Amino acid sequence: MVSAMSSPPTRIAVYISSHGFGHYNRTLHLLSILNDTSLYEFHIRTSSELHDPPLPYTLHPNIIQTNAYSLDAQASLQSLAAWDETSARDAELQFLKEYKIQAIISDAVALACSLANILAVPSILVTNFTFDSIFMGLLATPSQQLDDSLLRLKIKAMSEAYATATLIMRLPGSIPFLFDHRSVVDVPMHFRKARTSREHMLATLGLKSWTESKILLHCFGGHPVTSMKAIPELPAGWKCLSQSIHAPPHFHRFPNNVYMPDLIAGSDVVLGKLGWGTCSEVIGNGDKPFIYVPREEFVEEQGLREWMQQDHGRLVRLEIEKYESFLWTEAIVQASESQQQQDQDQILYDFQQAKEVLRKNFWKGLNCIRESM
């Protein structure tokens, strides 16, 4: 093996799903763990609005949401039926050849695995689910009225693309894949850590008077809820940092560019949906009690719920009807009475161990490149 000192960095294209904010944030955090400028040169490829500039074309069919916790199954399946990867594939092949890309990371873009297979370069799929499973779950919804055979062919093509990955680094909260793969390794959680104290976070938001209050964080990630028509109920002595509600003195809407781990670490209870990024940051930043509004149509939730029940244990379900009726008090009280916050030193130790495991398995996926250089 040639040492890193005498070899140029490995050029890696990183493909990130544009669905929501979670895929983008977790992939960039993973790259920060893996990053060593003497070893790797990363090229981000995504149509996510979080990236500047985003690609002018999509890399996968879209999952259409009507709000933060509901899917439009029919519209999503129509997106799948209409999906033609030809133009995106051709443009990306040109890019990969022009930049002499030597490996590909995917979260969780099926086309990226196909591109790697065409060019005979390694690909590493890093995810807790794949979108073929999501679309297959939508096929079972009562509103499905499209050509079932066509949709199944498209889903099968996605599964076959994912199956060509060199290595799958399977994140916690996973659901079963629809394809077999000879090289799947389970890797630990990674998460963005809070950068500041609760007191500083509140002061930055102009909320110094909240220091002695209990704080609920109301957040739905990359799919925010629209402004609500009434003010939800809170237990006595509680305040709420909200993504959508501004009703002083008890509700304060935080800005879109806030660093979310700081808010999670500074809160007493979190209310939102089960998404991988939120789950990992809730566990990693103080093991905060988590009230979730279910989104049953999205099959990823089953894996996330099981993960949180096993590794977190402070999960409270708030039914959609109660959430939309602003009846939050009972769930907040139940969540706040759950077990005490786990020791922060243990979280830090686990995080350091996770970094080493992630780096080791990433190296495993690229080993064939280094040995050939």
CB atoms under 10 Å from CB of 109, counted, come to: 31
Contact criterion met (CB below 8 Å) for 60 and 110: yes
Residue range 117-169, pLDDT digits in tens: 999 999 999 999 999 999 999 998 877 778 899 999 999 999 999 999 999 99
**Distance of alpha carbon 14 from alpha carbon 107, whole angstroms:** 8
pTM above 0.85, yes or no: yes
Contact criterion met (CB below 8 Å) for 69 and 295: yes
According to DSSP, residue 243 is labeled: S
Determine the pLDDT at residue 27: 97
Determine the pLDDT at residue 37: 64
Pairing of strands 103-107, 123-127: parallel
Determine the pLDDT at residue 223: 61
Residue from 303, 254, 253 nearest 274 by CA: 303
**Distance of alpha carbon 152 from alpha carbon 341, whole angstroms:** 46
Q: Cβ neighbours of residue 242 under 8 Å, at least 6 residues apart? A: 218, 219, 251, 252, 253, 254
Residues of the chain with pLDDT under 70: 1-6, 36-37, 222-228, 339-350, 368-373
Determine the pLDDT at residue 52: 95
H-only helix segments in the chain: 22-34, 73-82, 86-98, 110-119, 131-139, 148-162, 198-204, 260-266, 276-284, 300-311, 320-324, 329-336, 344-372
Determine the pLDDT at residue 6: 64
Contact criterion met (CB below 8 Å) for 123 and 166: yes
Determine the pLDDT at residue 1: 39
Structural domains in the chain? 10-190+351-372 (3.40.50.2000), 198-342 (3.40.50.2000)
Q: Could you give the 3-state DSSP secondary structure of residue 268?
A: coil
Residue from 65, 111, 2 nearest 221 by CA: 65
First to last CA, the chain: 7
Token pair listed for 49: 């609005």
What is the H or E stretch that residue 315 is in? strand 315-317
Determine the pLDDT at residue 349: 41
Determine the pLDDT at residue 141: 81
**Distance of alpha carbon 173 from alpha carbon 287, whole angstroms:** 16
